[in-house]
Amino acid sequence: MYVCGPTTYNYFHAGNARMFVVFDMIRRYFIYKGFDVRYVQNFTDIDDKIIQRGNVEGMDPLALGQKYIDEYFKDAKELNLLPATVHPKATEHIPEMIEIIQGLIDSGLGYEVEGDVYFAVDHFPDYGKLSGRTLDDMKAGARVEVDERKRHPMDFALWKKAKPGEPAWESPWGEGRPGWHIECTAMSLKYLGAGFDIHGGGEDLSFPHHENEIAQTEGYLKGKTFARHWMHNAFLTINQEKMSKSLGNFFTIRELLVNSPGEVIRFYLLGTHYRSPLDFNDQNLIMAQKGLERLQTSVRLAQEALAREGAVKNDQGSLELSRASKEAREAFEKAMDDDFNSALAYAALFELAKTMNGLVQANPVPSEGLAEAHNTLVKLGDVLGFDLLHPAKIDVENNEILNEVMEVVLQIRSKSRQKKDWEMADFIRDGLKEKGIVIEDTPQGARWQIKR
């Protein structure tokens, strides 16, 4: 699998995160099914946007790119993204790109103009086969920079002549840097070779990025298949409008992590089929947190029940739980085998959790069946990238919801004290203390803190 990674000029936003999470889930499911998966995700660490951002921040573009590569891994860890088998950087593969570009020139598919090199789209008969567009349609609706030096308006850059002050590399056409599309061609061929199984990305990459990748790669390979399957996830939107940095209507994952654990964000992003649009909504994010907590609670209750005295190995409850576990696995795999329908796979998890919840209070506890159901729920959750055994700890100081709830609790306790209802006031204080929250009464009023 080759999945297009971020252009490293900022923290990645929730729209980028949907793509990363979706393909991480797909990778995990292949592993669950017994496949050996080689997963390549690149970093575009040289690009116009990186250069522009470097100028704004007064920072060397290559150093800026490395800065946001480092930040990517921090946020990726919070979303429980498995590291790729290989994380290649564009700037480390310039020689491979130059070799491919020269090959395209030699075959008549590329041409050089004053230090720039372009791909001749009308020399590649299959151009448009991924997006289903024709060159005439593209020309009519083109929103590309007019450049009279190009032979066709849709010809795209393979190599860009260096401008003063920009990072540049030596090439047969003078100093310059690669175009965006050629970067992915070079890195995917180097680490996966021609004819690899899956090339993935967001639907906005289908055209022109992936279309151009196919043209230059299969042109270079003289007709050999580049990637056997192309997969694209739908947009994440804000008020029904695509989330993007260019539009300015985006939330970075770093911002969202202030109030929501990464596992909740992941749960939200996989709650809709990956090819269906998903509109960002705070209320839906709260619902996602509640849904994930339901599964985590089922796991915790099962563990507590199994630790109690009086558990038995075989009884009707165990048979029911064993049957529910089998049905959950079958329903889960049926959903995921049908184009990775994670939303439907969720239903299998919730159905199993419901059965478990109905039997954790049984006396005696049906230990054999409950242990199987517990392990099944944990395993299937892990396939989707959720650690149901270890819920994320809330960052209390930065969690607005918890702060608001505690403000209400302290108000209730204050009114109880005013009414001299000491029993209720102490009940609230002692109950919170058991949960690790300490209330201190001061001359300025009550305050609370987590007991470290």
* 333 pLDDT above the threshold of 90: yes
Three-state secondary-structure class, residue 129? coil
Rounded mean pLDDT, 389-418:
80
pLDDT, tens digit (0-9, with 9 covering 90-100), for 311-322: 666 688 999 999
- CB count within 10 Å of CB 437 equals 17
- CATH number for the domain formed by residue range(s) 282-383: 1.20.120.640
In whole angstroms, how far apart are CA 73 and each of 16, 69, 304, 423?
Answer: 14, 7, 35, 50
pLDDT of 310 higher than 80: no
Please give the residue that has the higher pLDDT: either 259 or 24. Answer: 24
Residue 209 marked as a ligand binder: yes
- In angstroms, the CA 155 to CA 63 distance is 31
pLDDT at position 392: 76
For residue 145, what pLDDT is reported? 58
Residue 410: name the closest of 356, 108, 402 by CA.
402
pLDDT tens for each residue of 267-298: 999 999 999 999 988 888 999 999 999 999 99
**Is 4 one of the annotated binding-site residues?**
yes
**Phi, psi at 149, each rounded to 5°:** -75, -20
Beta bridge partners of 159: 117, 178
Rounded Cα gap, residues 263 and 387, in angstroms: 8
Model confidence pLDDT, tens digit, residues 350-403: 999 999 999 998 888 899 999 999 999 999 999 999 999 988 765 555 566 788
Query: Do the Cβ atoms of 428 and 414 come closer than 8 Å?
Result: no
DSSP state of 124: S
Mean pLDDT value of segment 46-65: 95
Q: Which of 237-241, 257-261, 445-449 has the highest mean pLDDT?
A: 257-261
Scored b (16 or more CB within 10 A) or e, 73-112 reads: eebbebbbbeebeebbbbbebbebbbebbbbbbeeebbbb
Query: pTM for the complete prediction?
Result: 0.86
Query: How far apart, in Å, do the first and last CA atoms of the chain sit?
Result: 44
Please, are residues 385 and 266 in contact by the beta-carbon 8 Å criterion? yes
The pLDDT score that the predictor gives to residue 443 is 66
93 is in an annotated binding site: no
- What are 388-401's pLDDT values in tens digits? 998 876 555 556 67
| Average pLDDT estimate for 176-201 | 98
Give residue 407's pLDDT band: very low, low, confident or very high (50, 70, 90): confident
Structure-block tokens of residue 424: 């209720």
pLDDT > 90: percent of the chain: 75
Q: How far apart are CA 201 and CA 230, in angstroms?
A: 8
Query: 353 to each of 48, 295, 375, 376, how far by Cα in Å?
Result: 49, 6, 11, 10
Give the integer Cα–Cα distance in Å for 132 and 206. Answer: 10
213 is in an annotated binding site: yes
For residue 377, the SS3 value is helix
CA separation for the pair 91, 69 (Å, rounded): 13
Confidence of residue 343 (pLDDT cuts 50, 70, 90): very high
In the predicted model, is pLDDT for residue 449 greater than 80?
no
Average pLDDT rounded to a whole number, residues 242-255: 76
Residue 398's pLDDT is 55
- What residue ranges do the domains of the chain occupy? 282-383, 396-450
Higher local confidence (pLDDT), 403 or 100:
100
The answer to whether the CB of 340 falls within 8 A of the CB of 26 is yes
Given this model, what pLDDT does residue 364 score? 83
Cβ-based neighbour number of residue 307 at 10 Å:
9
Q: Looking at the predicted structure, is the pLDDT value of residue 122 above 90?
A: yes
**Residue 449 to residues 260, 370, 397, 436, Cα–Cα distance (Å):** 20, 37, 9, 9
Question: In sequence order, which residues have a C-beta less than 8 Å from that of residue 191 and are 6 or more positions away?
Answer: 2, 38, 40, 85, 86, 88
Mean pLDDT of the residues in the chain: 92
Query: Which pLDDT does position 237 carry in this prediction?
Result: 85
CA 419/CA 91 separation, integer angstroms: 70
pLDDT reported for residue 108: 97
Task: Identify the residue whose tokens are 């130059």.
Answer: 98
Would you say 152 is a known binding-site residue?
A: no
Interatomic CA distance for residues 444 and 231, integer angstroms:
59
| pLDDT surpassing 70 at residue 252 | yes
Say how far residue 242 (Cα) sits from the centre of its chain.
16
pLDDT for the residue numbered 452: 44
Q: Hey, is 366 helix, strand or coil?
A: strand
Strands 2-3 and 40-41: parallel
Q: Residues near 38 by Cβ (< 8 Å), separated by ≥ 6?
A: 1, 85, 86, 191, 192
Residue 98 CA, distance from chain mean position: 31
> CA-to-CA distance for 61 and 54, rounded, in angstroms?
5
Instruction: Give the model's pLDDT for residue 331.
Output: 98
